[in-house]
Amino acid sequence: MLNRHASLFTFRACFALALLALSACAGTTPAVEKKVEQKVRAAPPAASSMAAAREAVFESDSLSAEQKKSLKKLFSETSAEQARLRTELGKNQTVLMHMLVDANAKEAEIELLKTRILELEREKSSVFMRTLDQAEAILGRKDLQDERFYRAFLMNPVQPDTLP
């Protein structure tokens, strides 16, 4: 199960890196930010769920009742934050896709949306890694090599001006 999560996280990290490479730091005016914010707020929420992952954990026979109880508490504490981030990310991505096909879309608005998506992906990844750390503490496990890479990426992402 951890390998599935690692490969999904690898895809998301690569996607975030690709967006980062495509986006340049563009100065935006408050009017542009306000306009983009209105579009994002009006966008419908994206459909996404981690229910299957939680179900797999709680159906496991290898966990004690205390571990399941602690993990359930951990999931409930972070689920609202994750849901908010998924919703905001989905809305921003939807607005970006609509703007990309709109011939009248302003470049500054598109760049602002790219930046927002990257920030939301980083925040989402950070919440995921923090939750994973807490889950590993509950399970008595140590960090894996892949996780150290992701943490390093989150703390010091590659900037567009350093890419070839």
**pLDDT class for 149, splitting at 50, 70, 90?**
low
Q: What is the pLDDT of residues 31-81, one digit of tens each?
A: 888 888 888 888 766 544 456 667 767 788 888 889 989 988 998 888 889
User: 7 vs 140, which has greater pLDDT?
Assistant: 140
Q: Where are the domains of the chain?
A: 2-162
Scored b (16 or more CB within 10 A) or e, 99-115 reads beeeeeeeebbbbbbbb
Which pLDDT score is estimated for 133?
87
pTM over 0.75: no
Nearest to 139, CA basis, from 67, 62, 60: 67
